[in-house]
A = this chain, B = another copy of it.
Amino acid sequence: MPTSRSYGDACGIGRALDVVGERWALLVVRELLLGPQRFSDLRGALPGASSNVVTDRLHELEGHGVIRRRKLVPPAGSWVYELTEWGREIEPALLALGGWGLRVGVPGPPTTLSGTSVLLFLRRCAQPDPSNAPSVFNLGLDDRMWTVRSADGRVTITIGECPHPHASLRTDPRTLNTLIGHPAELNAALSDGRALADGDVSALHRLLRDVVLPPLDGKG
């Protein structure tokens, strides 16, 4: 493990950067915000990072107590990485940074967009009417299943599928990102095969319509 160099700065910001300031570290943390992930999941979500860098960051983050390596119960049996309690507490800072970064131009193609990224954005911007009846969805992205719950004026997201969803949607992160804030395109996406829906499609429409995009004024 490449003993990460320290800034030697006693300020909290410098100390935080000693832990998550190395290249790719915060993106690894981002991928774990919605739940445990396997090594290959992380690699798939961060194709720009080579495997040894991912390995280094995971070891460093584990050594600093940000993440934990855990073996799943037998039938699965594989290893996953998950945030520790302290690791999870970085979420507000990361989301604030992400909100600030929305006003940075999207880098030239090719760009990647992980399922976790889109779902974090969906959860952050969704403002369902608190008086609405709760609704549950199964969402398939990148060969991973997610459960999206809309209730009590907010959206929560968990890994895995739930038994009796109001609707199910299978698509890719980029299409979902387009649909967020442009719910009208759902029918087109369903027609041309970019998305596949099942169950109460009008509930899906409602979910997408509840997303309020941030203003994104000029950078001043």
Residues of A within 8 A of B (CB): 6-19, 21, 23-24, 26-27, 30, 46, 48, 64-65, 84-86, 89-90, 92-94, 96-108, 110-114, 117-118, 120-121, 174, 177, 219-220
Bound Cα distance A47, B126 (Å) = 44
Beyond contacts A9-B111, A15-B106: 19 other A-B pairs, Cβ-Cβ < 8 A, are A6-B107, A7-B27, A8-B111, A9-B113, A10-B106, A10-B113, A10-B117, A10-B174, A11-B118, A12-B104, A12-B121, A13-B26, A14-B27, A16-B104, A17-B101, A84-B220, A86-B103, A93-B93, A93-B99
Report yes or no: B93 in contact with A11, Cβ–Cβ below 8 A.
no
Q: Which residues of B contact A12 (CB under 8 A)?
A: 97-102, 104, 121
Identify which of A6, A92, A106 gathers the most chain B CB atoms within 10 Å of its CB.
A106
A27 engages B17 (CB within 8 Å): yes
Among B7, B27, B102, point to the contact of A107 (Cβ < 8 A). Answer: B7
> In the complex, are the beta carbons of A93 and B100 less than 8 A apart?
yes
- Distance in angstroms from A133 CB to nearest chain B CB is 31
CA distance A135 to B97 in the complex (A): 34
Answer whether A117 and B11 are a contact pair too, CB < 8 Å, given A17-B101, A23-B21, A220-B84: yes
Residues of B within 8 A of A27 (CB): 7, 9, 13-14, 17
Per a CB cutoff under 8 Å, which of B11, B14, B16, B101 touches A14?
B101
Taking CB atoms, residues of chain B closer than 8 Å to A98 are: 11-13, 16
Chain B residues whose C-beta falls within 8 Å of the C-beta of A99 in the assembled complex: 12, 93
Q: Which B residues lie within 8 Å of A15 (CB)?
A: 101-102, 104-107
Please report the C-alpha to C-alpha distance between residue A64 and residue B120 in the assembled complex, in whole angstroms. 25
- Smallest CB separation, A119 vs chain B (Å): 11
Smallest CB separation, A161 vs chain B (Å): 24
